[in-house]
Structure 1
Amino acid sequence: MVRPYAMTKGRTRPVGQEFDLIALVVSDVADSAEPGVGPEQGLILDLCRNNALSVAEIAAETDLPLGVVRVLLGDLLAAEYIRVSRPVPPAMLPDEHILREVINGLRAL
């Protein structure tokens, strides 16, 4: 078994921004045998190919600690092997009052 710090080369934080647990990851790589991709990163690429998975789901599927998955995802994102869709901040979501008005308007039709 490889120790987590060996997989991440001793790093504890991903390159760039931190990944939310619910951020969706999709692989843009057709073959996980890309140069410079380790076995754990290859597994992540295989899991996310044509299938958007959250960071939490990737950690569960790979049976790796969440911190390790975040560092590996940071490396894959920097190499442009994956795309990450971040969740919408609550401040940008529509107000509940507006949604209720829309529902009431539709019911009135």
Structure 2
Amino acid sequence: MPYGPPGPASHASRAADGYEAATVRPYAVTGGRVRSALSDLPLEALVEVLPGAVASRGLTPEKRAILQHAAHTYVSVAELSALLRLPVGVVRILVADMQEDGQLTVHTSAPVNVHTGHGNTQSGLSLSVLESVLNGISAL
């Protein structure tokens, strides 16, 4: 079998079989980023579309697909990865971007670590929330 780019005959046979090659590389979908603000987003985290997000304009095809799949039911990050045929890391970045833009909310069973830059990590629970819980327990 020869190596190199496929010739016209192999392209035509792929089209006839219904196979369509991905035209955009995963790193292009994320703008070259390999990490997101929600770097520890679990595979089982459930994605929920917020009201009005489906009508958003100027979204990439991948982000539109996420909105379509999660519009009527909760969908996990792993399911979105399979449905979109994209690596989990790419889907995590897209979901994090969409959450930051107010289009999605992500439901997890554990706090998610947020990278604040310069190597700092902030827990999903703020120190003030933890202090309030401690004060409430102490008051009992």
Q: TM-score range by the shorter chain?
A: 0.7 to 0.9
* Contact 1:27 1:82 (C-alpha < 8 Å) held by counterparts: yes
Q: Write the letter of the residue equivalent to 1:71.
A: I
Give the Å deviation of 1:88. Answer: 4.6
Higher Cα radius of gyration? 2
Kindly tell me the number of residue pairs found equivalent between the two proteins. Answer: 89
Indicate yes or no: 2:97 matched with 1:55. no
The one of the two structures with greater contact order (alpha-carbon pairs below 8 A, sep at least 6) is 1
**What's the offset of the Cα at 1:33?**
5.0
Confirm or deny that 1:73 pairs with 2:73.
no
Q: Where does the alignment leave 5 or more consecutive residues of structure 1 unmatched?
A: 90-109
Normalised by the length of structure 2, the TM-score is 0.58
CA distance in 2 between counterparts of 1:64 and 1:29 reads 25
- 1:83 aligned to 2:98? no
State the TM-score, normalized to the length of structure 1.
Answer: 0.73
Deviations 1:49-69 (A, max 9, x none): 121011101101111111100
Contact 2:46/2:75 (CA < 8 Å) preserved in 1? yes
**Post-superposition shift, 1:71?**
0.6
Selected match of 2:47 from 25, 31, 35: 25
RMSD: 1.8
Instruction: Give the CA deviation at 1:29.
Output: 4.3
Counting aligned pairs with the same residue, the percent is 38
Moved over 6 A (4+): none
Q: CA–CA distance in 2 between the matches of 1:50 and 1:18?
A: 25
- Contact persistence 1:21–1:56 (CA under 8 A): yes
